[in-house]
Structures are given as structure tokens and as C-alpha cells.
Amino acid sequence: MNSDFLVQWILLLPLAGAVLNGLGGLFLPALRERESLFGIVGTAVVAIPFVLTLILFLQYSGEAHVTTFYTWMAAGDLDVSFAYRIDELSLIMTLVVTGVGALIHLYSVGYMHGDPGYWRFFAYLNLFIFAMLNLVLGDNLPVLFLGWEGVGLCSYLLIGFWYTDLKNSAAANKAFIVNRIGDFAFLMAMFVLFKELGALDFGTILADPQALSQSNLNWVVLLLFIGATGKSAQIPLFIWLPDAMAGPTPVSALIHAATMVTSGLYLLARVSPLVLAAPQVMAVIAIIGALTAIMAATIAITQNDIKRVLAYSTVSQLGFMFMATGVGAFFVAIFHVFTHAFFKACLFLGSGSVIHGMHHVEHELHKKGHEGHIDPQDMRTMGNLRKYMPATSTTYLLSTLAIAGIPLFSGFFSKDEILFKAFEYGYSGNTYAWFVWIVGIITALLTAIYMVRSYVLTFRGKERWPMADEVQPHESPWTMTVPLWILSSLAVVGGFVGLPGVIAHGEWNWIHHWLGAPYGGPVAEPVLPAHGGGFLAIEWGLILLGSAIAIGGVWFGWRAYDRHGLDYDRKISEATGRLYGLWRGKYYWDEIYDRLVVQPLIRGSEKLLAPFDEYVVDGIVNGVGHVTRGAGQVLRYLQTGRVQNYALAIVFGVAVVLGIILFG
């Protein structure tokens, strides 16, 4: 089929779905009750594009293809077109977005059952898919930015989906504000590129990195990376992601695990020729990624909220991907995006299924007149759920093993490749890569431990909720378990698209051949010196080390938590002492921001200006907002309501205007 035609419908269907669901729900209140209608429309407009993308993928000729729908703005040098690029990179991202997206839509049909905002949820979710497709398919930075802003907006709307709860609104605002900082950096990068090169389409800006001066190049890459830290939750802008778990769980799975948060990685892979030409910035990226990875992993060990564990795990895994980017292994980063999308989506959906079950428990307890309140997300009140939710339990276990990196599961291949690339880059003389490698090894161990902890605490041991012999959760409906099964099978086998170099000399590393520039793909790679014959042995050694770490971590976690249950947390806390407090307090990032940025702004404006009572929300931009609001409060009192004061202002204006025009 004609690929222009396919691209058109891949983009238009989700948009049409969003418009239909949104307008239908808004203007025809009678329709809102008919959930299946919204569910079917919402899922179909994502599933059909997935099929279309598959067709595109299968008939892909190896030539990048650009489809231009029309030119939006053409004025002087600036030429912004709605142009979309089909190449190896965008295809693989589109497959993930539509494929995982369709599964999560299907899951939501069951998960959101009975919610009064059902129609709204599907409208937002469809709109998100549309924006995300713009992001990954756009052939120029403005279209990419349009998608970038669009996914940010949808993320905001979905985090605050249950907006009646003030806490959720606050989380949504925090995500929005923090992301704006990253967006600003992105805009600045675009500005520099446009000023220097006079164009913003990928064909031109990637053609020759040397067209920019080294300092400009460094700035562009650094600014793009700052943009990426906002969207992909890296230090120092990661603070919004854990709070974003306030949104419905399918949202966490789709937006805050599988797709949107990986867009920073996609961006850097897309501009990889530029990144490679800025080695200093690459070092920054790698180190930030490494620090984020280990920091988030240590926090994850201490969390009791099942979704928060997964949230910090996502931050940590994203750190891994940035590590890969920082050592020039862009295709490996995308490989990890690919495998991570499966197992993390599965884990989130599994946790959603658990929460669904625990909600039922809470509901039943309430009916039976139980006084206390249980938190359906708290692992401390779960336990032995595998007895009641076998499908959820099995799929969760498979994904846990995948993320822990047990050999032959998908996470093993991608994570091991990242560690290997870090090692190889260090071996080729880039010292910082050694640091990255070591941090990566430790983080991999921690990952195995905290993930097994979450599995064991949730699904094994004894039931810990009250009246456990009377009230039990039950398995979720098929619309929820089918996506779990599909995702977990992919999490098991997905890694085989990138077999390590030791097998058949890398010939079977399909994803490398698909994406890598040496094989005609769009993702650049550094040229490393050839290694001696002994390097193959080192590579085998690294694979064994990786396997040992993963198996060791899982074994340790299983032994510790299956035997001691929650008590083992106390043991760890005793063993690590103050460090544990630091982890448990999440390194006090929120508090530090509050102290250093938000509070001074608020206090400063409060002292100077009249007291204002409303909208005291945290967040940097809100702090600035307070100052501006304060200025407004002062200036408005110039408006005395007296006509003669206004006339005096006019006379003053006359004097100023005449003064400037006569003497200026």
C-alpha cells in the first residue's frame, strides 16, 4: 500500500478517536453511560494504526521516506511543514507506541469500568497517542516539539484525571511546571539551530555536525539533553514522575513507563550525529544517567507503595538508557526502550490489576463494617495474592525476571548490552565510562533485589489485610489479563531481536543492523579502535558477570523476603543506618527544591506585598508567578477609579511621548 496513505491514517485515526470520544461524551450526556462504545472506538483507533504500521514495517525498503502533508508556515527562511519521516528508528518507535498503546487501551476498557469520566479518559488517551506519533514521526523539530508539548498536555490532563482530589491536581501541576523548564531548554536549542543553520528539518541539521561551531554544538546538545531530562525524568528534573502515579494506572503504564518518558531518548537517538560530535556533553549525559539510575534504585528498595516502586524503577531504567546514550550506544538505548516498554508496561498493568483487586477488598471490608481504612496500593497490606490472582501473579513474575536481567529474558540482552558498551567505551580510553560501568553493575544488582522484593511482598507470604479469611480479591476480567499475557510473553522473548556480539560475531544482532548507521540506519555510532583477539573472552566474561549479578540478586531477594517478609526491610535499615534514611527520604530532593527555590520566592513576595491566600502551590514557576501576581496587585492600585487621575495619566503620557519624539 502507498506509504503516504498509511502514514496519514496512522496519524488521523487517533485524532479522530479523540475528537469523537471527546465531543460525543461532552455533548451527548446520554451516551456517557454506554461505556463499550467509547472503549471500542478508543481501542480501535489505536489498534488499526498498529496494523498499518506493521504493513509499513513489512514493506519497508530500507530507504527513509518523508511524507509532507502541507506547509504550515513559510516566511523567509522559516519553513515549517507537516512532514513525517518513515525510517528504521521512527518505525520501531511507532510500533511500540501503537502496539503497547493498543494493549493498554484494551486493558483500560476493564480497568476504568464504572468511572464517570470513562469517555474523557479515552479521549485523552487517544489524543496522547496522536501527540506521541507526531513526536516520533515528525521530520522536523517544530513538529516534534508540537508532539512534545502535546504529550506533556495529555500527561497533565491524565495525572489530574481525578481532579476533584486536590492532591492529584497538585501532582499534575508539578509535572506540568517541571516539564516546562525542560521545554524551555528545548526551545532554546531550536532557536540556536535555526539561527545557525536556517532550517529545522532533520535532513538539514543532521547532514553535517561540523556546520555548527563546537561551542554552539555543545550548547545545542546540552540544551536538548536538558529538555530530555524533563520529559525522561532524570536528575535534576525527575521529581515529577513519582508524583505522576496519581493518575490512573493504565496511564502510568502507557505514558509514564512505556512511551512518553522515553521520548528524551528518542530525541537524542534522532540527533545522534550531533551528540556524537559533542563528547564532553556525552560524558555529562552518561554520568547524569548513571547517578539517576543508582539513586532511583536505592530509593525503590525502601518504598512500600507498589506503584512508587515501579515509578522509581522506571527512573532508574531510564538512567540506564541515558548511560547507553552517553557512551555512544544509541541503538542499545533504543533496544532497552523497546524491551523496557514490554516488561514495565506489564508490571504497571499487573500492579493495576492488583490495585483493582485490593479495591474490591477495601470495598468489601467497608461493607462488612470494618472500621479501619486500607490503602489498596500499599504492599504491606497485600501478600499471597498469587492464590487469588494467578494470571496477574505469573505475568508479574515473568516481567520481574525480565527486568532483573535473568539470562534469556529480554531485559538480560538489552541491559547486558548497555553494560558491555560502557565497558567497551571505557576500554577504548574514555575514563568516565568505567565509572558508568561500575555504577551500572551495582544498579543491576539493586534492580534485581527491589523488583523481587515487590513481587514477593505482593504475591507470596501470608495475606496481611484484615479479615483475610472472609474477604478475598479475585482475578481481573479478560480485557485486563489478555494484555498482561501478551506483554509478558513479549517481555520474555523480546530480547532476541538483539543477540549479543559474541554470538555469530554480531550478525544476529538484528536491531543493530536495523538501526545502526554502519548498516544504513539513522542512528550514529562512534568509531572505536579494533580490539585484540582476547576481547571476545572479555565479552564472554562480562556476560557471565551480568548473569551472575542478576541471578545472585534474585536469589538474595527471594531468600530474604520470602523468609523474613517485611521484617527484612528493618534488617536492611539497621545494616545501612543513616543511608537508609536518606533513601527512604528520597534524597530529600523535594525538600531541597522547596527550601532553595520555592520557599524563598514565596516568602520574598509575601514579605514585600499584601498577603495573598490562594494558590500557594509548590513549584518553581508558581513561585515566579507569585512575584508577578504581587506586582499585579501593586500596579492595580494605580487604577483609582477617579477620572481625573486617569486624565493626569494621559497628560503624563503626552509629556513622555512628546519628550521621546522631540528629543529622542
Partner 1 sequence: MDLTGAYASLGSDLGNAFSLVLLSVVGLVMVVWDSLRNDHRAIPWIGVAASVLAISFELLRMPGPAEKIFYGLMWAGGYASFVNIIILAATAFTLAISVHYLDRIGHNYGEVYSLVVFASAGMIVLGSANSLITVFVGLETMSICLYILTGLVRTEEGSVESALKYFLLGAFSTGFFLYGIALLYAATGTLYLDEMPAALAGGAGSEVLLWGGVGLLFIGFLFKVSAAPFHMWTPDVYQGAPTTLTGYMSTASKASAFAALVLVVYHALPAERWMLVLAIVAAATMILGNVVAIAQSNVKRMLAYSSIAHAGYVLVGIAAGTTAGYSGALFYLLVYTLMNIGAFGVMAALEWDGHVGQKQDLDSLAGIGYRKPLLGVSMGFFMFSLTGFPPLGGFIGKYAVFAPAIDAGLTWLVIVGLLTSAASAYYYLRVLYVFWMKSPEEEAAPALDQLMASPLSMSTSVVLVVCAGLLLVLGIYPGVLESTTLFFSDSAAAVAAIR
Partner 2 sequence: MEISLDWYLALSAVLFAIGVLGVLFRRNAIVILMSVELMLNAVNLSLVAVSQSIGDLSGQILVFFVMSVAAAEAAVGLAIVIAIFRKKVSVDVNDFTLFRY
Q: Which residues bind partner 1 (CB under 8 A)?
A: 23, 26-27, 70, 72-73, 75-76, 78, 146, 160, 163-164, 169, 625, 628-629, 631-633, 635-636, 638-639, 641, 643, 645-647, 649-650, 652-654, 656-658, 660-662, 664
Q: Which does 530 bind (CB under 5 to 8 A by kind): partner 2, partner 1, none?
A: none
Which residue lies nearer to partner 2 by CB, 504 or 654? 654
Listed in sequence order, the DSSP H helices in 248-389 are: 249-253, 263-270, 272-276, 279-302, 306-326, 330-367
Picked from partner 1, partner 2, none, the partner binding residue 213 (CB below 5 to 8 A depending on kind) is none
Cβ 604 to partner 2 shortest distance, Å: 23
Minimum distance between the CB of residue 609 and partner 2, rounded to whole angstroms? 14
For partner 1, the closer of residues 27 and 534 by Cβ is 27
Nearer to partner 2, 29 or 641 (CB): 641
Q: 502 to 561, contacts with partner 2 by CB under 8 A? A: none
CA geometry: angle 95, 331, 233, nearest 5 deg: 80
Name the burial class of residue 650, with classes exposed (0-12), middle (13-18) and buried (19+) by CB atoms within 10 angstroms of its CB: exposed
Q: In angstroms, what is the minimal distance from the CB of 479 to partner 1? A: 27
The answer to whether 642 contacts partner 2 (rule: CB under 8 A) is yes
Under the binding rule (CB under 8 A), the answer on residue 369 touching partner 2 is no
Question: Smallest distance from the beta carbon of 636 to partner 1, in angstroms?
Answer: 5
- In the chain the first and final C-alpha atoms are separated, in Å, by 66
Taking the least distance from each CB to partner 2, the nearer of 71 and 639 is 639
In terms of CB distance, is 207 or 650 closer to partner 2?
Answer: 650
Q: What is the DSSP letter of 305?
A: B
In the complex with partner 2, the residue whose CB is nearer, 540 or 652, is 652
Among partner 2, partner 1, none, what does residue 464 contact (CB within 5–8 Å per kind)? none
Which residue, 36 or 645, has its beta carbon nearer to partner 2?
Answer: 645
Of 625, 571, 636, 573, the C-alpha closest to 602 is: 625
Query: CA 464 to CA 387: how far, in whole Å?
Result: 13
Instruction: Give the DSSP per-residue string, 82-101.
Output: EEEEESHHHHHHHHHHHHHH
Residue type present at position 180: R
Residue 355 grid coordinates: 490495585
**Which of 639, 653, 656, 659: binder of partner 2 (CB under 8 A)?**
639
| Rounded alpha-carbon distances, angstroms, from residue 416 to 333, 354, 525 | 11, 30, 18
Using CB under 8 A, pick the residue from 116, 429, 529, 641 that binds partner 2: 641
DSSP code at position 229 = H
Output the CA torsion sign for 96, 98, 101, 106. Answer: negative
Judged by CB under 8 A, which stretch of 44-52, 129-137, 583-591, 634-642 contacts partner 2? 634-642
Residue closer to partner 1 (CB basis): 149 or 201? 149
Longest dimension (CA), the chain: 91
| Of the candidate residues 640, 655, 656, 659, the single one contacting partner 2 (CB under 8 A) | 640
23 binds partner 2 per the rule CB under 8 A: no
Q: How far is the CB of 660 from partner 2 (least distance, A)?
A: 20
Q: Out of partner 2, partner 1, none, which partner does residue 291 contact, by CB within 5 to 8 A per kind?
A: none
Which x/- pattern over 583-622 shows residues binding partner 2 (rule: CB under 8 A)? ----------------------------------------
Q: Which is nearer to partner 1, 160 or 247 (CB)?
A: 160
Name, in order, each residue with C-beta under 8 angstroms of 230's C-beta and a sequence gap of 6 or more: 178, 179, 180, 181, 182, 183, 185, 237, 264
Choose the contact partner of 662 out of partner 1, partner 2, none; CB within 5 to 8 A by kind. Answer: partner 1
Q: Dihedral of CA 155/156/158/160: which sign?
A: positive
Phi, psi of 478 (to 5 degrees): -65, -35
Q: Which of 75, 636, 660, 661 binds partner 2 (CB under 8 A)?
A: 636
* 164 binds, options partner 1, partner 2, none, Cβ within 5 to 8 A by partner type: partner 1
State the minimum distance, in angstroms, from the CB of residue 651 to partner 2. Answer: 7
Question: How far from chain centre, in Å, is Cα 90?
Answer: 17
Figure out which of the listed residues 648, 655, 657, 658 binds partner 2, where binding follows CB under 8 A. Answer: 648
- Residue 600 binding result from partner 1, partner 2, none, given CB thresholds of 5 to 8 Å by partner type: none
CA distance 134 to 62: 21
Q: Which residue is associated with the grid cell 533513601? A: 583
| Residue placing its CB nearer to partner 2 in the complex, 651 or 656 | 651
Q: Closest distance between partner 2 and the C-beta of residue 68, in Å?
A: 52
Which burial class, exposed, middle or buried, applies to 364 when counting CB atoms under 10 A from its CB (0-12, 13-18, 19+)?
Answer: middle
We find the least distance from the C-beta atom of residue 636 to partner 2, in angstroms, to be: 5
Cell for 608?
514585600
Question: Which one of partner 2, partner 1, none is in contact with 625 (Cβ closer than 5 to 8 A by kind)?
Answer: partner 1
DSSP 404-444: HT-TTSHHHHHHHHHHHHHHHHHHTT-HHHHHHHHHHHHHH
Measured from the CB atom, the residue of 534 and 611 that comes closer to partner 2 is 611
The residue range among 253-261, 551-559, 604-612, 643-651 that interacts with partner 2, by the rule CB under 8 A, is 643-651
> Nearer to partner 2 by C-beta: 575 or 643?
643
| 656 binds partner 2 per the rule CB under 8 A | no
Q: Can you state the angle between helices 141-159 and 263-270, rounded to 10 degrees? A: 170
Interaction partner, residue 59 (partner 2, partner 1, none; CB < 5-8 Å by kind): none
Q: Residue 534: CB partners within 8 Å, gap ≥ 6?
A: none
Residue 577, contacted partner among partner 1, partner 2, none, CB below 5-8 A by kind: none
Provide the 10 A C-beta neighbour count for residue 648: 11
Contact pattern from residue 41 through residue 70 relative to partner 2, giving x for each residue in contact according to CB under 8 A and a dash for the rest:
------------------------------
CA atoms within 13 A on the CB side of 501: 17
Q: What is each CA distance from 495 to 6, 104, 266, 644, in whole angstroms?
A: 28, 21, 19, 78
Looking at beta carbons only, is 59 or 640 nearer to partner 2?
640
Instruction: Name the 3-class secondary structure at 79.
Output: strand
Size of the site for partner 2 (CB under 8 A): 11
Give the phi and the psi of residue 373 in degrees, each rounded to 5: -110, 130
The DSSP H or E segment spanning 71 is strand 65-75
Sign, CA dihedral 80-85-89-91, equals: positive
- Give which of partner 2, partner 1, none residue 146 binds (C-beta under 5 to 8 Å, depending on kind): partner 1
The 3-state DSSP class for residue 73 equals strand
Which residue's CB is nearer to partner 1, number 544 or number 616? 616
657 binding partner 2? (CB under 8 A): no
Tell which one of 533, 644, 662, 663 touches partner 2 (CB under 8 A). Answer: 644
Could you check whether the bond before residue 236 is cis, i.e. omega within 30 degrees of 0? yes
Of partner 2, partner 1, none, which one does residue 160 interact with (CB within 5 to 8 Å by kind)?
partner 1
Residues in the site for partner 2, rule: CB under 8 A?
Answer: 636-637, 639-644, 647-648, 651
